[in-house]
Chains A and B, each alone.
Chain A
Amino acid sequence: MLEKILSDDLYNILANKVNLNFVCEIRLRADKPIVLLIGSQRTFLGRDGTTSNLREAIRASKVMIEDIIFRASECSIYSVNEQIKRGFIVTQGGIRLGIGGDIIEENKNIKTMTNFSSVNIRLPHEIKNCSLSAFNYLVEENKVYNTLVLSPPGAGKTTFLRDFILQLSEKNYAYNVLVLDERGELDIGRSGCLGNFADKICYARKSVGFENGIRALSPDIIVTDELGQLEDVEAVNYAINCGVTVLASVHCDNIDSFIKKPNFEKITDNKLFERYVLLSKRNGPGTLEGIYNENFSRVRL
């Protein structure tokens, strides 16, 4: 998919001079050097591959950025305007483009974004078995715990959740799993990447997705990414009260910062989640820092 959104020139450099398997992010800012995030290291992209020399770095232009966004929308910006309004586009294959530019507001509502000046291309990676070390702490005697995955951005929350869904299927836990993919990142488009028992609702707000999904698809487990708003917490509460197990993720550095986060009091006070998985980038994305129970006591590590 990357070859469809990047110019031939740029793609050829990345495909031939850089190992794309290790690239997590490609950042382009107008008139600034292109930056790659490889593992947890940042480096510039030069004509001969990665470089730490600023002078050798390829500079992105505004036209280049606009072209990437245009291509990522399959040459149809209008078709992804709802995503652009929220600051991103997700392509088929789960590549997520975070977008910077000028927001156009009308009657206090965001109408669109124009004048694109930066784009952050996040490449999804399927890391098989990355959730295995935590699996047995999250699934016991045919019960899957309500689990919240915590980590800073880019530390592997989505990859963890994706692999966990696959592991459930591979270990023959025939639960009906509903994947609420608000940003289209959980399903990376490869056939079977979510196992054999997963249904999907994509690009819907969580409040809508939870309610419709529970009514229409009777899931045993709902998996969703990045809780943030109060209405997301309400949706999780609604699902758990309906007897559905929820696996979700939240951006935060550690358990303490999660406890202090606004909007999440209901989660901690009502002990909605029974397991917390903390990931970091300490030894590369996906480093398992610990698994905690509903009282935030460690159950592993």
Chain B
Amino acid sequence: MKFIILILIALICIFIGYIFSKKYKTRSNFFQALLYLCQKFDIEINYSRERLKNIFLNLDDKYKKDLKGIDGNYIAFIDKEVPLDKDSLFKNITFLKDSEKELIFSFFKTLGRSDVDSQSKEIKNFQSRFESIANNAQSENKKYGSLSIKLGIIAGLLIVVIFI
């Protein structure tokens, strides 16, 4: 019985480590997807004047997955199902800091509000700001992502050793 409990505790520690690691990875992937979204907007708006909803609907599946539903939340606003506020835009998104939410919200608020030139400039401006966050998120992921799992494993083993 004692062994089973210890194994359980060890697994929980590893799981907690995994959760932290996943959070770093999710953040990194999210900001990469956001950068891709900016590039896609810039291209589509400049060359085909494609409407926002179609751009969102035609995103690559990989990036769509990494955007964690923010695209769907914005489409819900386009379809008049929800207002454009932080609660609806960041529904089910928990891994962002408040300052990041603020920046991303400002980005979505400016979408579709001006002519091609101004829109393109706005997107490029936000893109450069997202780039620095994406770089940080990527290095955090490299640094702390694997570290979290390792710490989880070490903590689990330590507890097992101590109690044995």
Contact = CB atoms under 8 A, between A and B. Distances in A.
A73 B114 contact: no
B78 A78 contact: no
B111 A79 contact: no
Counting chain B CB atoms within 10 Å of each CB, the highest count among A71, A76, A84 belongs to A76
Interface in A87-135: 111-112, 114
Given A75-B53, A76-B50, 10 more contacts: A71-B80, A73-B112, A74-B53, A75-B51, A75-B78, A78-B119, A79-B50, A81-B115, A112-B115, A114-B114
B49 interface: yes
Given A74-B52, A78-B45, A78-B49, A111 B115 contact: yes
Contact of A78 (B53, B77, B80, B116): B116
Residue of A4, A71, A79 with most chain B CB atoms under a 10 A cut-off: A79
A71 B83 CA distance: 13
Interface residues of B, number: 18
Contacts of B50: 76, 79
A127 B82 CA distance: 36
Nearest to A11: B80
Interface in B61-84: 77-78, 80
A30 B115 CA distance: 22
Interface string B41-55: 000010001111100
A84 B115 CA distance: 10
A70 interface: yes
Interface string A55-70: 0000000000000001
Contact of A74 (B51, B113, B115, B116): B51
A77 interface: yes
Contacts of A84: 115
Contact of A77 (B77, B78, B80, B112): B112
Contacts of A70: 112-113
A169 B113 CA distance: 41
Interface residues of A: mostly helix, strand, loop or mixed?
helix
A103 to B, nearest CB: 12
Nearest to A104: B115
20 contacts: A70-B112, A73-B112, A74-B51, A75-B111, A75-B112, A76-B51, A77-B113, A77-B114, A77-B119, A78-B45, A78-B114, A78-B115, A79-B45, A79-B49, A79-B50, A79-B51, A81-B116, A112-B114, A112-B115, A112-B118
A75 B115 contact: no
Interface of A: 4, 8, 70-71, 73-79, 81, 84, 111-112, 114
Interface string B76-110: 01101000000000000000000000000000000
B115 A77 contact: yes
Contacts of A75: 51-53, 77-78, 111-112
Contacts of B113: 70, 77
Contacts of A78: 45, 49, 112, 114-116, 119
Contacts of B77: 75
A81 B119 CA distance: 11
5 tightest A-B contacts by CB? Answer: A112-B115, A76-B51, A76-B112, A75-B112, A81-B115
B53 to A, nearest CB: 6
A111 B119 CA distance: 13
Contacts of A76: 49-53, 112
Contacts of B117: 111
Contacts of B53: 74-76
